[in-house]
Structure 1
Amino acid sequence: MTIKCKVKSIEPLACNTYQILLHPETPVTFKAGQYLMVVMGEKDKRPFSIASSPCRHEGELELHIGAAEHNAYAIEVVESMQKALEQNGEIEIEAPFGDAWVREDSARPLLLIAGGTGFSYVRSILDHCIAQSINEPIYLYWGAKDACQLYAHQEIEDIAQKHSHVQFVPVIEQASSDWKGKVGNVLQAVADDFASLESFDIYIAGRFEMAGAAREQFTQNKSAHSEYMYSDAFAFI
């Protein structure tokens, strides 16, 4: 179903990364971890994870869009949103989509893995689980090129401090001398920290090749069960 939305705000989160708040003309019902399509044309619909959680979005939909210079696919969407904001116009979306939503009835611990702005996907799941008082252990691993791309670092640190069942592990590829966290590949960081992933529900968002590598590595080397691994990328690889 096509839904018209007002663009309420566009704010920078990090270098070339934007937070966009949309106000749909009719309420959108979705599950934590689902995504929407921004309609750019009749045959041009572009997917973005919904960063807000279904229980605490107050009628608005939040997106985190990484629009680096080489990524025209995302830049064009941000530009379209900016034009709508300036002209008090509307954009169109279709929603919801995706099968990688959080399984709330599961009693298994959660492992949330995000690469870059894939964080928006796991943020929705984390926020929803906390709001619904889901107290299974939650491990959130967020990988990025450098520390400035971890735009919600302090927000998640604060959540982890407040909720003892939440552990946050940021991982960056390029570290400055004052960085005190993990350095390298986010999947390797997970592999280093867990002898087995057999008992986990695993949720993954990032580049398709990262999701594919996670499924292969974790099922082969860490006893993860593919039926308990969730990523919308799996439908395309």
Structure 2
Amino acid sequence: MSIKCEVKSVESLACNTFKILLQPENPIDFKAGQYLLAVMGEKDKRPFSIASSPCRDNEIELHIGAAEHNPYAIEVVDAMKAALDAGTPFEVEAPHGEAWVREDSDKPLLLIAGGTGFSYVRSILDNCLSRGVSQPIFVYWGGRDECQLYANDELKALAAQHQNLTYVPVVEAAPADWQGKVGNVLEAVSDDFVSLSAYDIYICGRFEMAGAAREQFSAEKGAERDRMFADAFAFI
């Protein structure tokens, strides 16, 4: 469904990542974990995960990583800024995606994000905490360095507030005082879990990361392929 949105704000977070708040002219009925298409042209529609939960009142939050080598994302951020400055609406199409959180499941959740794939995980986590789910939730977030984990402090605080939430940050290059894990996020998960057979697993990152997780966890950790969710699976 095509919807025009008011761009409420474009805020720089860290490491070329931007938080964008949109207010749709009509509420978007979506599920936590779905994505929208930013309409740049009739045949140019670019997907971005919705970072906000459906429980938020008619506000859509996006986290867009727009490094200099990524014009695909930078052009969208620039278009959003232009719409904000001009006070003109920005068109999106939503909702899309099948990797939304299965609210009828009581399995423990494993949420895995690479880089700004965290926006997908953020929506699901927000939704689960707002619903007061009681099963364990594990969040593993990987990035090149600490700067990429732009919500690190927020997630630490949430984990301190919710006994059923465990947050594990993972970076490839760590400073001397780093308190998380170092290396690859999938390796961190493999190191920490003997079996994943009982888990619902939600994944967002590069396609190759999602594909590797599906193969690795099903072959080595007993994960059920039909309980692993990633929109990347529709394309690989």
Whether TM-score is above 0.5 comes out as yes
Aligned to 2:48: 48
TM-score normalised according to structure 1 size: 0.99
The Cα shift of 1:180 comes to: 1.9
Q: Deviations over 1:124-150 (max 9, x none)?
A: 101100111111100000000100111
Tell me the distance in 1 between the aligned counterparts of 2:85 and 2:106.
46
Offset at 1:16? Answer: 0.5
Q: Which amino acid aligns with 1:14?
A: A
* 1:231 lines up with 2:230 in the alignment: yes
1:164 counterpart = 2:163: yes
Gaps of 5+ in 2: none
Unaligned runs of 5+ in 1: none
Please give the secondary structure, in 1, of the residue aligned with 2:98: coil
1:37 matched to 2:27? The reply is no
Normalising by structure 2, report the TM-score: 0.99
How many angstroms does 1:199 deviate by? 0.3
C-alpha separation in 2, matches of 1:136 and 1:12: 34
How far apart are 1:81 and its partner, in Å?
0.3
1:12 aligns with 2:24: no
Matches within 5 A, 1:171-186: 171-186=170-185
Instruction: Tell me which residue corresponds to 1:98.
Output: 97
Within a 5 Å distance, the mapping from 1:73-222 to structure 2 comes to: 73-222=72-221
Q: Quick one: distance in 2 between partners of 1:21 and 1:107? A: 31
Equivalent residue number for residue 21 of structure 1: 21
Rounded Cα–Cα distance in structure 1 between residues aligned with 2:106 and 2:26: 34
Helix, strand or coil: the match of 1:112? strand
Task: Give 2:62's aligned residue.
Answer: 63
| 2-structure distance, mates of 1:104, 1:218 | 22
Cα distance in 2 between the residues matched to 1:142 and 1:181: 10
Within 2, Cα distance between the matches of 1:125 and 1:136?
A: 14
Deviation string 1:34-79 (CA, Å, 9 cap, x unpaired) is 0000000111100000000001x21110000000011010000001
Amino acid at match of 1:108: K
Q: CA deviation at 1:181?
A: 1.1
Task: Tell me the alpha carbon deviations over residues 11-48 of structure 1, each in whole angstroms, 9 at most, x when there is no partner.
Answer: 11112100000011111010000000000011110000
Q: Compute the displacement of 1:90 (Å).
A: 1.3
One-letter amino acid of the structure 1 residue matched with residue 28 of structure 2: V
Displacement after TM superposition at 1:178 (Å): 1.2
CA distance in 1, matches of 2:111, 2:11: 25
Following TM superposition, the consecutive aligned residue runs of length 4 or more in structure 1 with deviations greater than 3 angstroms are none
Identity of aligned residues (%): 66
2:92 partner letter: I
Aligned residues: 236
| Separation (CA, whole Å) in 1 of partners of 2:40 and 2:59 | 20
